[in-house]
Amino acid sequence: MRRTPPVVVQLQPQPAVQAAVALVAGLASGGLAAWVLIYTLSAWPTLLAVPICIAYAWRAAAVLPRRLRWDGQTWWLAEPGQDDETAVQLAVLIDLDAWLLLRAAPGPRWLPLSRRQQQSQWTALRATLFSAPRAPQ
């Protein structure tokens, strides 16, 4: 059986992903606050939670710079500021052709990747993700 070639990908911050997550959080918390206000106007302080939810979602959706590496047998993930790597199992959760959302276990850690940020490695990354042998669960 042929082995897949090594691949190294640098994960970078993605403000568009952060903005989308913050928008969804803002719409959800705003809708909830509006629903509460329909029943009682004295609950107006719930509106103060909306910007807090948006700020929390923005921060929680931040992508930390990481390095993802395939050595031909195992995926390795290096956390920010660390030289050592952790062996991970990857699962493709969303595949939009130009954008991927991966889940790395153990963790889980969510890894959004876009073609724009991975121009030179995108084809090799996708080929490896879908053709590399899976580790037993």
Evaluate whether residue 137 is within a structural domain.
no
Evaluate whether residue 75 is within a structural domain.
yes
Evaluate whether residue 32 is within a structural domain.
yes
Taking only the tens of pLDDT, the chain with its 137 residues reads: 566 778 889 888 889 889 999 999 999 999 999 999 998 888 888 889 999 999 999 999 998 899 999 988 899 999 887 778 999 999 999 999 899 999 999 888 889 999 998 888 899 899 889 887 665 55
Considering the domain architecture, whether residues 92 and 56 belong to the same structural domain is answered as no
Considering the domain architecture, whether residues 43 and 91 belong to the same structural domain is answered as no
pLDDT digits (tens, 9 = 90+) for 1-38: 566 778 889 888 889 889 999 999 999 999 999 999 99
Domain of residue 97 covers: 7-14+64-131
Does an H or E element contain 129, and which?
A: helix 122-131
pLDDT over 70 percentage in the chain: 93
Number of domains in the chain: 2
Considering the domain architecture, whether residues 32 and 70 belong to the same structural domain is answered as no
Considering the domain architecture, whether residues 115 and 71 belong to the same structural domain is answered as yes
**Structure-block tokens of residue 18:** 């952060």
pTM: 0.78
What CA–CA distance (Å, rounded) separates 5 from 32? 49
